[in-house]
Structures are given as structure tokens and as C-alpha cells.
Structure 1
Amino acid sequence: MKTTNPVLSRFGRTAVRERGAGYAAGAGYQQPAYGQGYPPAGYPEPSGYPNGAFPTSPVSTRTMTIDDVVVKTATLLGLLAASAAAAWVLIPDALLGAAWIGAAVVGLVLGLIISFSRMANPALVVAYSVVEGVFVGMVSKFFTSVAGYDGIVLQAVVATFGVFFAMVLLYKARVVRATPRFTRILIAVMGGLFAAMLINFVLALFGVDTGLRSGGPVAVGFSLICIVVAALSFVLNFAEIEEGVRAGLPERYSWMAAFGILVGLVWLYLEVLRLLSYFQGDD
């Protein structure tokens, strides 16, 4: 049966095979059709197995559940919030720019490694959450302490989680679904948005203002589009989690699912924060 999204290839096909691969002894052995009690009477007993019995089932591995993903996501968000608060307090304004850029680069590298890795790595996911916390903390401190937009961080946090839980309800009610067409279009749009951001960043280094981040009508429209797309990306995350549970992926892959949600939340928060700054800048 074909899936509606690339969850199995994203997590790695080896993850799916893990639930049925390996034995307590004789790794790589193909279980005979006879099952327990093999070999038939009159044949010599195989060595290396207790009581001469072949294993009849693979080593059990606990599979991921929705609760696992919820717990892992809450854990990552807690780490992100703690590192953001620590960075806000400990890093002085004079080093704000350097910490911002450094955390952004390290977070990007870790995110790419996690995304393209074929195996779940909880340590890398945790490290990504901590580094992203520093990045989010520095961005938030800039808008509050440097730009002087009081209360904007709390507003952005409330709006971000409001959008997230709204998407949870819409997905649960099957108002929005990750159909193949929806998935293809959304991934294409996300790729286009990230390409536009990259081009805008490069041009900004040469003093070219495209208007995408200048606070004008074009910037407001671009941020609104990014917010809508970031919100819709959760639909893909939810569908991937459902399919991962259905496929019986090992429990540690819940870290990958939580990582996907965390990336979406950070992107949504940054876009909401930027959009709110445009309106506060007009006061």
C-alpha cells in the first residue's frame, strides 16, 4: 500500500525493517517454516540455541506511539525554552549579533544532519533543540531590548501555540488531510519560500532591498504566506506520525517526529514575531 507522504523514506527504510530484524542468537539467520519444535524427529539438534529450539519470533522492540511523540516534543520545547532564557540572561547585548549568527549556523548544520540521516539520533535532536533555543533567545532579545517592542515575545508565543493547536483540531477533524496532491504542492511552495529567503539574504548582503523583509506591504504579505505555509506543514508532521505509528517504527523514532514539529514551531514563531514587529513599527 502506498503512503500519502514520504515518512518511511524520510525515517529510513531500515527503521521499518528493525521491528522484524535480528534474533537473540544467530543474527542473520532465516527462520525456517517449521517454527517452534524444528527440526523434525530424527534430525540432529542445532547448536547454539537452548533446548535445541529455533527462535520463532524476532527480538521485541517497543514501537513508537502518539504519547511518545507528545512527551518528546514537550521535552524538546522545554530544553529550547530553558536555553533561550539562559542565553537571554547570560549573553550581553554586545555579543548578541555574534551569538545570533553562531547559533543560526550551528543549528542549520545540525538540522541538515538530522534531516538527511537515515537513523534517528536523540543526542543530535536534543543538541539541535538547545542550539535553537540560543538562536530564538537572541532573536527575541533583539526585538525586545534593541528594537524596543515590549510584549512582542509573549504575543508571538501565544499566537504560535494558538495556530498550532488550531491545526491539531483541524487535522483531528479531518478538515485538512495530507493527500498526495496536498503534500506535493506544499513541499513545492516551501521550497520556493526558502529559495526566496536565501536569495533575499544574499542580495541584502550587497545592499539590495527586495522588500520581502523591509516592513512594507510586500513584507507583510510575504510573512502572512510564510505563516500559512508553516501552519500547514504541521499537517505533514501529523500524517507522518500516524504512518510511523502504523508502520511500527521503533520508539526512538519519536524523536524524529518531535524534531519535525519543533522545526515548524520555531519557523512559525519567527514569522509571527516578524509580522508583529511590522505593525508595532508603525506606531
Structure 2
Amino acid sequence: MVRFSKTSNPAFSNYFWNDRKSSNEKMTVSGIFIKCMCCIAIVASITAYIWKLYSDGFDVEWFTYGGMIAALIISIIISYKQLWAPVLVPLYAIAKGCFLGGISSYTYAKFPNMPYQAIGVTIITFFTILVLYQTRIIVVTKKLRSVIISSAASIFLVYIISWILSFFGIKSFVWGVSWIAIGFNIIAAIVASLTLLLDFDYIERQKNRAPKSKEWFATWGLLVSLIWLYVEILRLMKKLAIRF
């Protein structure tokens, strides 16, 4: 069994790629692309639906928090039940659609067109990172990989601690609009974009090697990175709009 290297995205860890069953079909970039497009379509459709509900006067708070919690639970299940990925990944897309629909509609109510702008910036960032990787302007080295993994883990820890503190009425700096909060948000957005760089590198090295079924895990990983990037960009734009 080949031992694959690690990446910052949990969906691309060794655990997921360690398949004891042999398979003649191998993972392909085209297969991942098709699955990603389908899942992104699901996310966009659900987001638009929740957005419409909010515009019609419905309270979508339960959709927002429910989607966030459901996505977390589904991610944990996928971590332990690999074979369920073909079903769980679309469900993850639905859950994230509910979450994004809520936060996007809230933002749109105060800052019209901002969600569209955030989507545009996310798409531009995605292709920029892809070009930087394909042209080898940025080379993924072991040191760079370690830095990104450490940074992503640190940001995740800060968010978890801030979320826990909120239950005790303590508002963390990450939710404010101070320059420190904005600076943290910028760093988080940069790290989120760089996790895409690592994922591109991992997929390229494992294409035509990993089993075909692993395309669903690759799809899940890219969704995690893209949605995180969009959320960070949206939050950053909102903070800047409030600040100025």
C-alpha cells in the first residue's frame, strides 16, 4: 500500500486515501470536477432558496444554525464512514447551502450586492491560486505545507475558543470590527486560499493512483476549502463596510 503525504484539509488526509480494497478504476481530475460542479450547484440552489425565504419574511435562523451543525456532524460521519461519501457529500452540500443562504441573506439585507461581490472574489481567488500552482510560480514545499497546516489549525482553534466564550457572554475580538479583527480576518482568508493550493498539489500527485471512489472525498475537501474562503471573504468585506 502506498503511503501518501498529508495536507491541511482533513478531507485529504492519509486516512481517507488508505483503501484496503483494490480497484481497477482510478481517481481522475475530470471525475472530481464533475462531482464538484454538481455539489456547487446544490449549494447554490439551496442558498438561493433560503435567500428567497428570508426575502419573503421567513425567519431563517434555524436554517443557518441547523445547516452549520448538520455540516459539522456530516463531516464527522464521513471521517469514519468512507463508503457513505456518495450520499453524505451531497447532504453536506445541502447543509452548507442552508448555512450560506442564511448568512448571505443577512448580509444582503444590510449591504446589497455584497454576497455577489464575495462570490466573485472567491471565484477569482480560486483561479488565481490554480494558475499560480499550474505555472509553478508557487511551489508546494514541505516547509510551506507545514506553515499552512499550522496556520489553519491555529485559526480553527481561535474560532472554537471564541465560540465557546460566546456562551458565557464573552465577545471575542474576532467578531468585532477593530483593526485587529480585520487583520485576523485577512490572515484567515489568505490561509483559506492557500489550503486550495495544497489540495491542488495533492490531487495532482494522486490522480490515476487513488481508487475512483476517493473522488467524493476530494470533492468534499474542495467544498470545505471553497466555502471557508467565501465565508472569510464575506466577513472581511462586511467588516470593512462597517468600519468605513
Under a length normalisation based on structure 1, what TM-score does the superposition of the two structures give?
0.78
Residue identity over aligned pairs, in percent, reads 26
Q: Secondary structure in 2 aligned to 1:14? A: coil
Q: CA deviation at 1:18?
A: 1.5
- Quick check: which one's helix share is greater? 2
Summarize the alignment of residues 6-17 of structure 1 with structure 2, pairs less than 5 Å apart: 7=12, 9-14=14-19, 17=21
Higher relative contact order (CA 8 A, sep 6+): 2
Please list every run of 5 or more consecutive structure 2 residues that lacks an aligned counterpart in the other structure. Answer: none
Whether 2:22 is the aligned partner of 1:18: answer yes
Q: Secondary structure in 1 aligned to 2:223? A: helix
Please list every run of 5 or more consecutive structure 1 residues that lacks an aligned counterpart in the other structure. Answer: 20-60
Structure 2: distance between partners of 1:10 and 1:205: 33
Structure 2: distance between partners of 1:180 and 1:120: 32
CA 1:183–1:100 in structure 2 vs 1: closer, same or farther (change >3 Å)? Answer: same
Q: Secondary structure in 2 aligned to 1:209? A: coil
Aligned partner of 2:181: which letter? A
Q: CA deviation at 1:117?
A: 3.8
Under a length normalisation based on structure 2, what TM-score does the superposition of the two structures give?
0.90
Number of equivalenced pairs: 238
Structure 2: distance between partners of 1:225 and 1:68: 32
CA 1:167–1:10 in structure 2 vs 1: closer, same or farther (change >3 Å)? Answer: farther
Deviation per CA, 1:92-114, whole angstroms, max 9, x where unpaired? Answer: 65522222111111111111222
CA 1:90–1:232 in structure 2 vs 1: closer, same or farther (change >3 Å)? Answer: same
Q: Secondary structure in 1 aligned to 2:207? A: helix
2:241 is aligned to 280
Q: Secondary structure in 2 aligned to 1:64? A: coil
1:138 is aligned to 102
Deviation per CA, 1:166-186, whole angstroms, max 9, x where unpaired? Answer: 000011012223322222222
Mean CA deviation greater in 164-173 or 92-101 = 92-101
Whether 2:73 is the aligned partner of 1:109: answer yes
Say if 1:120 and 1:252, in contact at 8 Å, map to a contact too: no
Summarize the alignment of residues 85-234 of structure 1 with structure 2, pairs less than 5 Å apart: 85-90=48-53, 93-119=57-83, 121-145=85-109, 148-234=110-196
Aligned partner of 1:89: which letter? K
